[in-house]
Amino acid sequence: MATLNIPEIPKDYDAASIEERCRALWEETGIYKYDPNAPGEVFSVDTPPPYVSAAHLHVGHAMSYTQAEIVIRYQRMKGKKIYYPMGFDDNGLPTERFVEKTYNINKQKTTRAEFRALCLEETRKGAAQYEELWRSLGLSVDWNLRYSTIDDHCRRTAQRSFLDLYGKGRVYRSNEPVLWDVHFETALAQADLESMARKGKMHDIAFSAKADGSPLVISTTRPELIPACVALYHHPEDERYAHLKGTTAVVPLFEHEVPILTDEAVDPAFGTGLMMVCTFGDGEDVRKWKRDKLATRLVIGPDGKMLPSAGEFAGQTAEIARNNIVGALARAGHHLKSVSVEQNVSIAERSGVPVEFNMAPQWFIRVLDIKPQMLARSAELGWNPEWMKVRLDHWIEGLKYDWNISRQRFYGVPFPVWYCQACGEAILADEASLPVDPLEDPCRLSACPACGGTDLKGEPDVMDTWMTSSLTPLINANWAGTPGRKGDMSLHPMTVRVQAFEIIRTWLFYTLIKSDAHLETLPWKDVMISGWGLNEHGKKISKSDLEKYTDKDGYNRYEPFGVIKKFGADALRFWAAGSHLGQDMRFNEKDVKDGRKLAVKLWNAARFVLMQIEGFDPEAPRPSFADRMPEDRWLLTELNRILPGVEAGFEGYNYAVAREAIERFFWATFCDDYLEMVKHRFWKPELYSEEARVSARATLWEALRVILGLYAPFVPFTTEDLYQAIYRPVEGTPSLHITAWPTYEPTRTADVPEMQVVMAILRAVRQLRTEARLSQTRALEAVVLDLRTASDELKGVVHAMLPSIQAVARAGAVRFDEASYPADVAGLAVGIVAGELPEKVVQA
RNA sequence: GGGCGGAUAGCUCAGCGGGUAGAGCAGUACCCUUACAAGGUACGGGUCGCAGGUUCGAGCCCUGUUCCGCCUACCA
């Protein structure tokens, strides 16, 4: 007879060795490899390529990536073909800033080649660190599908995108005022701004009317822009200034003459109702400048310092010039008063300095004309959670500028463009030649097709990093047709984009634009937006958290490698699944212990099952559901009944809902109740038939297997290791993670009403034992049941369930007598008779 | 200024097709018990931010309001 060779499982749970075994197994078996030829529906995931600049990895990163990965593991077990790539974003300002800081250098003091080499090196190091974290966390990424936004394939894809958009008239080049970062000395897009509240001063400054020299008072927080003033404005219906129509004013100190104009947007109640418009204080100035064809008087240079046009203030930073100009105005009698005000200023997200405007030719992608189309795309998309949708919609509605994709930086994807130095004609690269670097590669033409000029120079700017990362679905689908690259257009649109909320206006929005422009589709069917893991105080985990809380052994509570080492990867993953999708969650180290406890509990429950099933033959026929003992039918029923809810949770990306249901079943029903009851059948064989034990063994074997499957997405290491030891020899499938997801079995689901009585007695006996200060497992002489007020039905159940009742009470006998403790069943009271206590061993 | 989340036990979070609240941790008591002491059993602990309203009945629906976080906005 074939009997199971009962495997040995070490008594102690050792996360590190389990993780080591599993990582090796997953590597060898290649179970996470995407196979385009396998049967089944594809489930493809567009994952965020992290920035190397975010090298301060913390548990918040682990949280959001894990939340998505749990759902992916579920889908894999549902039989989907998983396309789960990982990318690294190594373009752009974040990397440049990181390199600048790390090496304490800046753009001026290094060559382009040197700087790029450092960026590449830091990128390589950062990516390696990320990859190690993802592997430690057990993310089931197919590392063959890796991409890096600076690699040839991605540069090619980004440049092809540019050419395609150019061909479609969606991209244009224009010399107009652009948002400018005076630290990095580059243009920015609207999405690269943040706002910062600060205290400022509002100054009342007297201009004078050209005609009669009478004072015209304006209020401004930016007096340093007075030399840049090109007009004064008031509301068209403001009686106070009606007489100024068609006249001009003289700018104090600088003495140039500016027109006085009207605009509906001027608030007559603000300040004096008269405002100055400059080159350029804000987007409103730009609007008026364009509409009214105002003069241009740029006074702030690309580096944020005042230009010669600012006269004696040239060379000063805007901030210093602000004070100096106020001083000069005061001395000249033009400064009337100052009041402190709270103001919101736009700062550059990457450098943190207030943005200015600058003028330089830039490439733009037209987006303002397709707002309604983008809102429609947003509505088509499956948002999880749903309420995240408004964040995108508000952003789209509030867009003011087309997307500027030119960056005056070193490290990024070049534009595939050369310009004729004679006439300015732009000459684009051939698609076949991509990727190109126009600063190194020659132009495909030797002469300008417009004017015949032969001096053709490459575009020195690079593209906005989002120009590339907005293409991740197309990078994955090899839209650019890069030879040898995996993936094809059947992957587009993808199944789901996973990301956190802060990049909705950038990554999500730009990706929608690209797929719409290139292919007229959504990039994905669904989007899954995670929240953030916060520090103990409910704030974003910062670099200072990673420094401040580091102990003398180098351990830091927010640093994921250390947390994994201390509690195990499964523990950290389990914590990550604790908050509902989209919701932020505070990280407390002690909460990771819950995950650790679960892993240990699974381990020990499995050990217990193995101890009890000795002699069990998994290949022999098992008793049918109807032939099992009531406890066993009850257990299987309870287990079956959680499955639809668990599945519905996962299908809606609600891993947390699934986790709660599984948790309740495993901990309370399986461990606390069922395992405690079933022990008796093995410990008191004289009270039970062999059939009862056969039924128990079959049920334990089956239930543990389902439990491992259900927990597999959450704690993949522990469940895999147990599966390998116990079930793989029988089932053969090389990994738990590619076995079938447990399915609801209606034929193994049936109410077992008599178990309500047994469970009520179990609860009563536990209570009585606690009150009597008796151990829960010490054998009682007897359990007393008071059935004097019981219905005949109840009496019948009690008599039918006597062995079970004796089991839950761990009593030598069941007696029917008076008892005082009311059970949770009408007409039943319970008592216990402890009997002789065993003699205590007295320690000397 | 507008919007979106959150506000429930000391802590972290569930509960929301309305029927006077749950888990884990922390606390207390007991149990060295043949899976598990990083355990088990039991207990204590909440006027569900505040104020109104709808309803026989409201953490759950409506209105207003206060904090916290985030997004967004030209008040120069």
Judge if the upstream peptide bond of residue A493 is cis by omega within 30 degrees of 0.
yes
Distance, CA of A593 to C1' of B5, in Å: 28
In degrees, to the nearest 5, what angle opens at C-alpha A251 toward C-alphas A249 and A255? 105
Distance, CA of A825 to C1' of B56, in Å: 29
What pLDDT score does A98 carry?
A: 81
Distance, in Å, from the CA atom of A790 to the CA atom of A493, rounded to the nearest integer, reads: 65
What pLDDT score does A834 carry?
A: 87
Residue nearest to nucleotide B73 (CA to C1'): A398
Which nucleotide's C1' sits nearest to the alpha carbon of A605?
B35
Distance, CA of A155 to C1' of B2, in Å: 40
Distance, in Å, from the CA atom of A688 to the CA atom of A681, rounded to the nearest integer, reads: 6
Distance, CA of A558 to C1' of B29, in Å: 35
How many Å from the N-terminal Cα to the C-terminal Cα in chain A?
Answer: 53
Distance, CA of A749 to C1' of B34, in Å: 32
Which residues, in sequence order, are CB contacts of A151 under 8 Å at separation 6+?
Answer: none
Distance, in Å, from the CA atom of A166 to the CA atom of A665, rounded to the nearest integer, reads: 58
Residues forming a β-bridge with A315? none
Distance, CA of A373 to C1' of B12, in Å: 42
Report the SS3 class of residue A154: helix
Which nucleotide's C1' sits nearest to the alpha carbon of A283?
B74
Long-range own/partner contacts, residues A262-269 (CB < 8 A, 24 or more apart): A262/A233, A262/A234, A262/A235, A262/A236, A263/A233, A263/A234, A263/A235, A263/A236, A263/A288, A264/A235, A264/A236, A266/A233, A266/A234, A266/A235, A266/A238, A267/A235, A268/A234, A268/A235, A268/A237, A268/A238, A268/A240
Which nucleotide's C1' sits nearest to the alpha carbon of A609?
B35
Distance, CA of A390 to C1' of B54, in Å: 29
Nucleotides of B under 7 A from a protein CB: 2-6, 11-15, 23-26, 29-36, 38-43, 68-76
Residue nearest to nucleotide B33 (CA to C1'): A777
Residues in chain A: 844
Distance, CA of A673 to C1' of B56, in Å: 39
Element (DSSP H or E) covering residue A331: helix A318-331
Dihedral, CA of residue A408, residue A409, residue A411 and residue A412, to nearest 10: -20
Report the SS3 class of residue A666: helix
Residue nearest to nucleotide B36 (CA to C1'): A604
**The model's pTM:** 0.94
Which residues, in sequence order, are CB contacts of A267 under 8 Å at separation 6+?
Answer: A235, A273
Report the SS3 class of residue A453: coil
Low-confidence stretches of chain A (pLDDT < 50) are: 1-2, 839-844
Contact A758, A808 (CB under 8 A): yes
Residue nearest to nucleotide B32 (CA to C1'): A775
Q: Describe the crossing of helices A676-683 and A630-651 by its angle, rounded to 10 degrees.
A: 150
Which residues, in sequence order, are CB contacts of A65 under 8 Å at separation 6+?
Answer: A47, A134, A137, A139
What pLDDT score does A209 carry?
A: 95
Which nucleotide's C1' sits nearest to the alpha carbon of A505?
B71
Distance, CA of A234 to C1' of B76, in Å: 11
Distance, in Å, from the CA atom of A699 to the CA atom of A34, rounded to the nearest integer, reads: 35
Distance, CA of A645 to C1' of B19, in Å: 24
Residue nearest to nucleotide B40 (CA to C1'): A776
ipTM of the complex: 0.94
Give one DSSP letter per residue of A282-304, joined into a string. SHHHHHHHHHHT------B-TTS
Contact A574, A715 (CB under 8 A): yes
Distance, CA of A583 to C1' of B6, in Å: 9
Which nucleotide's C1' sits nearest to the alpha carbon of A657?
B14
Query: At A17, which amino acid appears?
Result: S
What pLDDT score does A841 carry?
A: 39
Burial of A213 (0-12, 13-18, 19+ CB in 10 A): exposed
Which nucleotide's C1' sits nearest to the alpha carbon of A586?
B12
Report the SS3 class of residue A348: strand
Which nucleotide's C1' sits nearest to the alpha carbon of A762?
B41
A621 φ, ψ (degrees, to nearest 5)? -60, 145
Handedness of CA A86, A91, A92, A95 (dihedral sign): positive
Which nucleotide's C1' sits nearest to the alpha carbon of A766?
B41
Which nucleotide's C1' sits nearest to the alpha carbon of A281?
B76
- E-state strands within A524-592: 524-530, 533-534, 585-586
